[in-house]
Structure 1
Amino acid sequence: MDKYLMYLRKSRSDDPNETVEQVLAKHERILQNYASAMLDQKIPEECIYREVVSGETIEDRPEIKRLFELMQSNTIKGVLVVDCQRLSRGDLIDCGTILQNFKYTNTLIVTPKKTFDLSNEYDYKSVKSELMAGSDYLDYMKTIMQRGTLQSVLEGNYLPTRTPFGYKKVKEGKKRQYLVPDPETAPFLKMIYEKFLEGYSPYAIGTMLDDLGIKPFMSEHWHERTIKKILSNEVYTGCIVWNRCKVEKRIVNGKVKKVRVPQKKPIIVHETHEALITQEMFDRVQSLMASKSTKVNMSKELKNPYAGLLKCKLCGRSMRYLGKFGRNVERYDCSGRKYCNNMSTNASVVDNAIIEELKKYLEDYKIKITKTDEEQIKEKKSMIEELKKNLEKIDNKKERVYEFLEDGTYTKDMFAERLNKLELEKKKMQKSIDKIRLSIPNKEEWKEQYINLHEAIDMLKDPEISAKTKNIFLKSFIKVIYFEKHDRDSSSPKQGPVTESDNVKIEIILK
């Protein structure tokens, strides 16, 4: 039997009052009925790709990328979609990518209205025309939405989702939303500006607020970065600043990526809400911040091989790399040390502890590779096949439930109850399949991880390899490294710096 895949995605043209799940379920029902009637088969769950993210481009949509990878195996007869534009409404590059993938893998695009074979010149032109029309529609809709957003801002509406500290967002009807002072936090907002002008640092101001029991919106404690953002936000002078940064597509290392680009002339709408500070005070603060700005470190060489990987086990913040700066050795400490009890330690201790943890993984993978039971693999695959057959039986029962509703055997309440039970049963069975599938040993992946671990250990032992090279390689297969230390190390000056410690605990999570 020919193998077909199904691709589901919500579009802007769908009912905005329906959730993504409701739209996808409706389209799945339409396509399953079509598959039963015209293809003499039901599309199994593992062949259904549901795109729940709202990405405009192929790069932003993981499910369609998985779909294309499977199509390249040349085992897929066709892909079912409600209409061709569900595949993409992206730019010309995306349209070309879709056309190439379907044409050169000889995969059909199957819709309830028509089946397209892109090896046929007329079908190719027809699909190309539909995709281009979808791209034009997307550009048009984005332009209309941007105009509406700009008009709303010019009318004085505050659109950002986050409300600035010191204010509350008030809504009037469906269109009007503006800021009003929050009686509980507005006085402390003024205090932040006043204390900074008195000479207090952002760090000291944050400590004051913590001592007073005043919390920021998004965290438990104040960070100096948060204080600096507040001190540089014009919203407190009674105006709205829009389009300060614009998301643009740029070519980065040969790939199209979205980057935030600061705009030379952001849109400023004055007197949209009550000001908490005067323009004069705001200008004085900006001048003082500019005069206190620290010198930029011109050396951009990465010193920390675990940048973005090493996290505090206690609070989850990043571990900071501290150079010598008058000390004898480099060290690591928690960036939230003010509130965290995790202790700092020498960089060499961290290196050796991570190497030892990688060695444990290395030994585990060695045992897995040499002692994998092939019979166990076959048994689990057989279990999956049995569960898939049960899934098909549930789908057949669902079809009969629909038939019973149509011929009057079931009332609407009976239909809803029975269908809900079958859906729950199906989800439970699918979870069992996923669980068994994840437990099936994968020797090839294990061998790759074994090689990665070996290479990582050798790299960490080699001082000639740069921290940047080490960091890039470690990030390719390590998700996070957790650090924990509660007790101080004891050493005498004669013995030299501590390089190993039983007090340090390292936990490595692989990808």
Structure 2
Amino acid sequence: MKKVTKIAKSQNVENKKEKIRVAAYCRVSTSSDAQLESLEAQKVHYENYINSRDDWQFAGIYYDEGITGTKKDKRPELLRLMDDCKAGKIDFIVTKSISRFSRNTMDCLELVRDLQALHIPLYFEKENINTGSMKSELFLSLLSTLAENESVSISENSKWSIQKRFENGTFKISYPPYGYVWDGEQMVINPEQATVVQKIFAMLLSGKSTQAIADDLNQRSVASKRSGHWTATTIRDMISNEKYVGDCLFQKTYSDSNFVRHNNHGEATQYLVKDHHAAIISREDFTTAQRLIRQRAIEKGIIQGSEKYQNRYAFSGKVICGECGNTFKRRMHGYTGYKYVAWCCSTHLRNKNKCHMLFIRDETLKQAFIIMMNKLRCFHQIILTPYVQSLKTDPANNSVKKIQKLHTLLAHNSEKRETLTKLLSQGIIDSIIYNKETNELLFQADAYQKNIESLKHTVSDSMAIITEAINLLRFVEKAPAVTAFDPMLFEKFVDHILIRSRNEICFILKCGLALTERR
């Protein structure tokens, strides 16, 4: 018989369990002192709570201040928390309640599912729910729905309260425009800023453009509202702000049912309060300024509500700098008696050290387009015909087959859910199994639907490119030589122009081709 010697365990070796890395998430919906105190209390509580556990390791506190809980993409700290979870820095998360974590049911469930996929449980203190041991999402879905309904109720009550203050003229503007400050009760004039406002209106009425006014303020290092850079858009917004004549127009924006804010173009009631506060600009000057802005818009072909500046010229918004990626602006160059149009990189105009791209003449761009189109016309059989053929054999057809297969899987998924419902109604399975299986099937169906939508975009984009390529091929097969620049032709076939240098101009066509002209 073999001799076996038993070796006793060492008394000095202890089984050490690896600590769980635990993080906490906190949120307050307003920046009021009381709410910020609440946030500080939450932070202290969770730091002490996590550190008091021997089996837990403190992994940090993530907190969002004065931010709504209805949208996860508006909360940077929550997004950072999710990124750290994906990076493997966190094993467990604790938070005060479902409403603190998310007031949007879909967001809440999506976040929980993402964390479950990473095997990271989430613990809601108030509801005493640990998603790691949760048998069904149904209870969590119900609670998060209640939280969302509470958010909607709070929003509606807040809107009603604000609207009543709009109606009786008692609404307080706590963040006044440049030229005013809030003294705790009302808007009062800031003398230093008011002088700048008056200067802006005076420059506009003297004939200066909004861009020239912005450049003048920047050159003189005049501080803006947030000590930033003055722009033509900022000047235009100030010129059209009725508050400078002492009036207040309330509800210029509104939020829809999905908590998305929009400019109010008549969708919601507005309220105008005359002589609400002290004026900086006379009504005569304000009216004249509005008339001048409208006249300039008419002269430049700008239609209110359209894409204004970008669509005035064929190249507007379509000439891209190959060095910094910014768009080019149209400028007048030359001297008295000799003027020409040029396109300059917006970054280079502001700071030559940040982008060294030189300007390019308008005529050069037009000439390059003419040459490019004539080359396509002459060599379409070598360039375009094979390209169209290759697009027709694109894997878009495979995408269509995948979509059809996914629709079949969705139908089978729906049948399984119907079967589960029948089994539950007949008492063959209990509610726990039903909820578990149904949630898995719903999660699977959601994944199928997302794949279908993604593939639809692929097919749609591929078909659009094929259509553009066929249209271009048909045009160049029959078109005569292009002898002059045609803005309509450019708009029809060119997506944008990439300027790599003065001598290298790349036309990115809507059909997907990138054709470079070298001088």
TM-score normalised per structure 1: 0.51
Residue 289 (structure 1) aligns with? 293
Tell me the residue number matched to 1:28. Answer: 47
Deviations, residues 399-444 of structure 1 (Å, cap 9, x unaligned) = xxxxxxxxxxxxxxxxxxxxxxxxxxxxxxxxxxxxxxxxxxxxxx
Query: CA 1:82 to 1:43, structure 2 compared with 1: closer, same or farther past 3 Å?
Result: farther
Given that 2:21 and 2:56 are in contact with CA atoms closer than 8 Å, whether structure 1 keeps it comes out as: no
Change (3 A) 1:88 1:170: same
**Residues 131-151 of structure 1: per-residue CA shift (max 9 Å, x gap):** 222222222233333344444
Distance in structure 1 (CA, Å) of the matches to 2:97 and 2:234: 47
- Written as runs of structure 1 = structure 2, the 5 A alignment for 1:115-154 is 115-117=129-131, 120-121=134-135, 124-153=137-166, 154=168
**Alpha-carbon distance in 2 for matches of 1:76, 1:192:** 53
**Paired position in structure 2 for 1:227:** 235
Query: Which residue number in structure 2 is paired with residue 239 of structure 1?
Result: 247
* Superposed displacement of residue 290, structure 1: 0.5
SS in structure 2 opposite 1:142?
helix
Q: Take 1:68 and 1:200, find their aligned partners in 2: how far apart are those partners? A: 50
Change (3 A) 1:132 1:468: same
CA distance 1:468–1:93, shift in 2 (3 Å): farther
Q: Does 1:274 align with 2:300?
A: no
The match for 1:80 is 94
What is the Cα deviation at residue 94 of structure 1? Answer: 1.0
Q: Is the 8 A contact 2:64 2:76 kept in 1?
A: no
* Root mean square deviation, CA, Å: 4.9
Aligned-pair CA distance for 1:79: 3.1
Which residue in the other structure is 2:358 paired with? 346
How far, CA to CA, are the matches of 2:505 and 2:218 in structure 1?
42
Q: Distance in 1 between matches of 2:273 and 2:42?
A: 39
Using CA pairs below 8 Å that are at least 6 residues apart, which structure has the higher relative contact order?
1
Match of 1:304 in 2: 320
Distance of 2:207 and 2:331 partners within structure 1: 29
Query: Is the CA contact (8 Å cut-off) linking 2:162 and 2:171 kept in structure 1?
Result: no
On the 8 A contact 2:121/2:132 being kept in 1, the answer is yes
Cα deviation 1:48-67 (Å, max 9, x = unaligned): 35133535222233454455
Gaps of 5+ in 1: 251-256, 311-317, 349-458, 471-495, 498-511
C-alpha distance in 1, partners of 2:223/2:85? 52
Aligned to 1:455: none
Q: 1:8 to 1:212 in 2, by over 3 A?
A: closer
Which residue of structure 2 aligns with residue 380 of structure 1?
none
Aligned to 1:437: none
Compared with structure 1, are the counterparts of its residues 288 and 223 closer, same or farther at alpha carbon in structure 2 (3 Å cutoff)? Answer: same
Deviates further, 146-155 or 79-88 = 146-155
The letter for the 2-side match of 1:95 is C
3-state SS of 2:154 partner: helix
Q: CA deviation at 1:162?
A: 4.3
Contact 2:321 2:357 in 1 (8 A): no
Structure 2 CA distance for partners of 1:281 and 1:62, relative to 1, 3 Å: closer
SS state at 2:35 partner: coil
- Cα 1:209–1:83, aligned 2, differ >3 Å: closer, same or farther? closer
**For the Cα contact (< 8 Å) 2:26–2:100, is it kept in 1?**
yes
Aligned with residue 50 of structure 1, among 44, 62, 74: 62
- Total equivalences in the alignment: 333
Q: In the aligned structure 1, how far is the partner of 2:130 from the partner of 2:56?
A: 20
Q: What is the TM-score normalised by the length of structure 2? A: 0.50
Q: CA 1:30 to 1:322, structure 2 compared with 1: closer, same or farther past 3 Å? A: same
For residue 183 of structure 2, give the secondary structure of its aligned residue in structure 1.
strand
Instruction: Report what 1:8 is aligned to.
Output: 25
Matching residue within 502, 508, 511 for 1:466: 508
SS of residue matched to 2:57: coil
Q: Partners in 2 of 1:66 and 1:195 — Cα distance? A: 46
| Matched letter for residue 59 of structure 1 | D
Query: Who is 1:96 aligned against?
Result: 109
Distance in 2 between residues matched to 1:180 and 1:60, nearest whole Å: 33
Native 8 Å contact 2:321 2:328 kept in 1: no
Go from structure 1 to structure 2 and tell me whether the alpha carbon gap of 1:80 and 1:231 turns closer, same or farther (over 3 Å shift). Answer: closer
Instruction: String of CA shifts for 1:168-192, please: whole Å, max 9, x gaps.
Output: 4322xxxx3x223344454554454
Pairwise CA distance, 1:335: 6.1
How far off is 1:44 after superposition?
3.6
Mapped partners of 1:209, 1:272: distance in 2: 29
Q: Which of the residues 28, 52, 74 maps onto 1:60?
A: 74
The alpha-carbon distance between structure 1 residues 342 and 187, as it changes in their structure 2 partners (threshold 3 A), is same
Deviations 1:337-366 (A, max 9, x none): 5x9898965369xxxxxxxxxxxxxxxxxx
SS at match of 2:55: coil
Verify the 8 A CA contact 2:342 2:359 in the aligned structure 1: yes
